[in-house]
């Protein structure tokens, strides 16, 4: 029914969607902030805490649900392609997976971007992010070396 998309075209589509949503949908308070796996849940949690403590809400702290949208979108896609199947939990790795997720969030908040926004920021012309790309590639390289042992 639907064709599978090649990663190259998917990347181009992503870039165009991010640019479009910054231009016309009002994601203007940060550079290239249309989608960020780290930043959007952080803003959502800022928003929730500011409601719970009934403190003053910043103008730009909006509840951004794009990460949940991604889960929804991939759920729809897997249903459309009829590939939806439940992968069971590996009980031996349960805590490790949880801890790695925790650590990923902490490291992501150190850097204040997720890998996708890293590359979008580079296309936006932010050269600070080059250090991030060097670090990311180095991290992948190190992890490959460690896992081969």
Partner 1 sequence: MITSLAIGAIIGFIGYSSRFCTMAGIRNLILLRHKEMFMGIIGILAGGFIGFSTLSLINPVAFQNFPILLKIKLFTKLSKLLLIVIGSLGLGIISTYVDGCPFRMHVKAGSGDLNSIIYLTGFYIGIVYFILFLQDIVMSIFSF
Site for partner 1 in 39-98 (CB under 8 A): 40-42, 45-46, 49, 62-78, 81, 83-90, 93-94, 97-98
Classify 112 in phi/psi space as left (phi over 0), alpha (psi -120 to 50) or beta.
left
Residue whose CB is less far from partner 1, 54 or 128:
128
Number of residues lying near partner 1 (CB under 8 A):
112
Q: Pick the closer one to partner 1 by CB: 54 or 139.
A: 139
Closest CB to partner 1 among residues 13, 57: 13
| CB 64 to partner 1: min, Å | 5
Instruction: Report d(CA 50, CA 71) in Å as an integer.
Output: 26
Q: Per CB under 8 A, which of residues 100..119 are in contact with partner 1?
A: 100-112, 114-116, 118-119
CB of 61 to partner 1, least distance (A): 12
Angle of helix 39-52 versus helix 66-80 axis, rounded to 10: 130
- HEC per residue, 113-147: CCHHHHHHHHHHCCCCHHHHHHHHHHHHHHHHHHH
């Amino acid at each position: 029914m639907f064709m599978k998309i090649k990663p190259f075209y998917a990347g181009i589509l992503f870039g165009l969607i991010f640019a479009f949503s910054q231009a016309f949908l009002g994601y203007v308070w940060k550079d290239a902030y249309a989608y960020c796996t780290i930043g959007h849940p952080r803003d959502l949690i800022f928003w929730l805490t500011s409601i719970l403590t009934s403190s003053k809400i910043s103008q730009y702290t909006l509840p951004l649900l794009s990460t949940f949208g991604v889960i929804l979108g991939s759920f729809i896609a897997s249903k459309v392609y009829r590939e939806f199947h439940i992968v069971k939990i590996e009980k031996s790795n349960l805590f490790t997976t949880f801890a790695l997720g925790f650590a990923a969030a902490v490291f992501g908040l150190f850097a204040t971007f997720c890998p996708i926004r890293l590359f979008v920021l580079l296309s936006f012309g932010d050269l600070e992010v080059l250090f991030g790309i060097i670090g990311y590639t180095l991290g992948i390289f190190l992890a490959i070396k460690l896992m081969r042992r």
